[in-house]
Chain A
């Protein structure tokens, strides 16, 4: 099994404009996703939703600035750390991950156990 990070990128503005029912539906969708991962034979090792980029603080060369590291229309808004057999399995799982206002990126976790 290999670990992968699913990074969820979505348009924050769409959530800002969305009503209560969208938030509730999104919450339910993530609950369903958690069940589906198990059904697919994968495992969620961790995951969180992030506060909007307006709350982010960036440090570059010791200089602290307000805002995210990179300004993009679709911003990182949450992540899951999952365990899957291989990339095809991870992609099969990631396709189920809710991201109604954007999409997801799948990144393999580097195995650093051999680096001493």
Chain B
């Protein structure tokens, strides 16, 4: 199975590649044996170090993940034997034998699984979902869920995570430690939730992955490289989730949303760094392969293959990720901004507002409504959102309102709204844009209607 000794450079590359691709798999499988996340992490780190040496002597194994898992599991079992008496007193990571709805192997003996595993054995249960659901458990704060997912599922170092979220390394280390301690002390189970809890729990997981993506996509500061990495990690996680839960169509929706959004990455900002509006972007530079894949995914998801019986508690309706992806698909399919299918967008935003009633969605729907039925109709909607009050301080509300007022020829009202938006904006490029608009409407003809 293994070849001749290989040059060190190739081995380092193989180990680095296995780290990127297989970390979650190896850690998830080891955590079940170690029954403690910290111990599992240590054993997996050790296994990667051991791989550097072993692979340069014996060659890179055919299945690196299996090799790493077996090595890490053996270390975990050794550690357990050493600390048996002590460990009996410590809280363990729960891994109940009977797992509702996980489809995983039931009641297997972790010790036996680890000891009989052959380095080339492919049949190692895939525990990555357990790991993801544990990291995104609702008993953990959202920021802890995000940090744990990057640390445990993606294998990022605490320093890398701290850098991506613009906090100090000790702060991030404390956050991760606190979360791990809660998993252990409160006995957050290491399992995939049963069918009754799954929709809510899955939504938390998808929210974390989406948050990773948006952080990488729109981070206000920080080195570009790290931000790009977060985007890649989020897409990678979405792909992994889809592979593991092919029947969960919201997962397909999320992957489609990320691909369709990311397809526009190269055209999002102008040469001056200012974020470009959709109508200003060069559509010829959009990533067609990503768009095609995203549209394929969202089309399948909308057709509604679901893992659950239709009609059960409204679960057959597309959720927010599918609908957001469908909206992104409509934009991606339009040959130009002017040729966008606005009525279709209005329908999708209506559905999205039902699935996810937030004022930001209502604001976006109002802007689309204006494209379909004219600025007057959109303005009435925006004023409704304004009365709701939850978006006070959200600069895109007065900016959108100002735009409609400008198109209605109500220049003084428009200037007033642009100034409110300007006061709420810190970003220099956006301030310049709004200031330009103010000059424009002030110089325009006297108010019409």
Contact = CB atoms under 8 A, between A and B. Distances in A.
Same complex for A and B? Answer: yes
Interface of A: 2, 85-89, 91, 106, 108, 110-111, 113-114
B188 interface: yes
Contacts of A85: 94, 96, 189
Given A85-B96, A87-B139, A2 B89 contact: no
B269 interface: no
A87 B187 CA distance: 5
B193 interface: yes
Interface in B78-103: 86, 89-91, 94, 96
B89 A86 contact: no
B170 to A, nearest CB: 26
Nearest to A115: B89
A4 to B, nearest CB: 8
Interface of B: 86, 89-91, 94, 96, 137, 139, 185-189, 193, 197
Contact of B90 (A86, A87, A108, A114): A114
A23 B229 CA distance: 58
B187 A91 contact: no
16 contacts: A2-B91, A85-B94, A86-B94, A86-B96, A87-B137, A87-B139, A87-B187, A88-B188, A88-B193, A88-B197, A106-B186, A108-B187, A111-B89, A111-B91, A114-B86, A114-B89
Interface centre among A85, A108, A111 (most CB of B within 10 A): A108
Contacts of B89: 111, 113-114
A87 to B, nearest CB: 5
A112 to B, nearest CB: 10
Nearest to B85: A114
Contacts of B91: 2, 111
A53 B297 CA distance: 58
B297 to A, nearest CB: 31
Q: Rank and list the top 5 A-B pairs by shortest CB-CB distance, nearest first.
A: A114-B89, A86-B189, A86-B187, A86-B94, A108-B186
Summarize B's interface: helix, strand, loop or mixed.
loop
A56 B98 CA distance: 45
A48 to B, nearest CB: 23
B317 to A, nearest CB: 25
Contact of B139 (A91, A110, A113, A114): A91
A86 B188 contact: yes
B185 A110 contact: yes
Nearest to A4: B186
Nearest to B197: A88
Contacts of A113: 89
Nearest to A107: B186
A115 B53 CA distance: 41
Interface centre among A85, A87, A108, A114 (most CB of B within 10 A): A87
Nearest to A114: B89
A86 B92 CA distance: 11
A32 B137 CA distance: 29
A54 B428 CA distance: 56
Interface centre among A85, A86, A113 (most CB of B within 10 A): A86
Contacts of A91: 139
B94 A108 contact: no
Given A89-B189, A106-B186, A111-B89, 11 more contacts: A85-B94, A86-B96, A87-B137, A87-B139, A87-B186, A87-B187, A87-B188, A87-B189, A88-B189, A88-B193, A91-B139
A111 B96 CA distance: 20
Nearest to B194: A88
Contacts of A88: 188-189, 193, 197
A108 B189 CA distance: 13
B347 to A, nearest CB: 37
A85 B189 CA distance: 9
Nearest to B90: A114
Contacts of A106: 186
Nearest to A106: B186
